[in-house]
A and B are shown apart, each in its own frame.
Chain A
Amino acid sequence: DGGITQSPKYLFRKEGQNVTLSCEQNLNHDAMYWYRQDPGQGLRLIYYSQIVNDFQKGDIAEGYSVSREKKESFPLTVTSAQKNPTAFYLCASSIDLGPTFQQFFGPGTRLTVL
């Protein structure tokens, strides 16, 4: 069953702690993305990666870090430097960046900082 998996579904952390959100895809897509979704804000791009061992900052990268050591995996670390980390985080992958570009989304991880 092909798709994108994110774990965990819900995550709680104490203020000042780093936490890593998992994203795995078996769609053989080159590009992967992390978005943050807040009520009334839509989806905002945190980081994206077009190929293994390469990634780029999105619109709101401050306080986040990523790695892309394998094509299937694109974990996101929310660091203690992120001032307002409580949010819903969505991972996505895309089939290509050409004229037929389309993204596929994971189920999301809801992070709550206590």
Chain B
Amino acid sequence: AQSVSQHNHHVILSEAASLELGCNYSYGGTVNLFWYVQYPGQHLQLLLKYFSGDPLVKGIKGFEAEFIKSKFSFNLRKPSVQWSDTAEYFCAVYSGGGADGLTFGKGTHLIIQP
């Protein structure tokens, strides 16, 4: 079974700081990659996704992520965070083969201090 590792469980930053959240996965084949965000009291929603093509993908709210196949990584970045970015962030990897081919990381709780 594949695994997804998010390196930081809790991250605290000040507004305007740059953000990078790590995500590594174990599956060696073709993957689809996702970052989801869960704002306090809200639905889990898709930030961005990678299926194929340009490994640098841009999502909503100024977020981007880079797929580095050789490192099995899909790190999430934002150059300047805002207080409203406080949320839980989940990386997910789909390796195909059925509905149970989607694996989530354990999440990173991001707190932005004003």
Contact = CB atoms under 8 A, between A and B. Distances in A.
B90 A42 contact: yes
Interface in B83-114: 90, 92, 94, 96, 98-102, 104-107
Interface residues of A, number: 28
Interface stretch (B42-50, B62-70, B71-79): B42-50
A94 B51 CA distance: 15
Interface of A: 31, 33, 35, 40-45, 48-50, 56, 58-59, 90, 94, 97, 99-108
Which of A44, A105, A106 has its CB near the most chain B CB atoms (within 10 A)? Answer: A105
Contact of B44 (A41, A58, A90): A90
Q: Chain A binding site: helix, strand, loop or mixed by DSSP?
A: strand
B7 interface: no
Given A59-B100, A108-B43, 17 more contacts: A40-B107, A41-B106, A42-B6, A49-B99, A50-B98, A58-B100, A97-B96, A97-B98, A97-B99, A97-B101, A101-B94, A102-B34, A102-B49, A103-B34, A104-B46, A105-B36, A105-B43
Contacts of B92: 43
B90 A48 contact: no
A45 to B, nearest CB: 6
13 contacts: A42-B6, A42-B104, A42-B105, A42-B107, A50-B99, A56-B99, A97-B98, A97-B101, A99-B52, A101-B32, A102-B34, A102-B46, A105-B45
A103 B43 contact: no
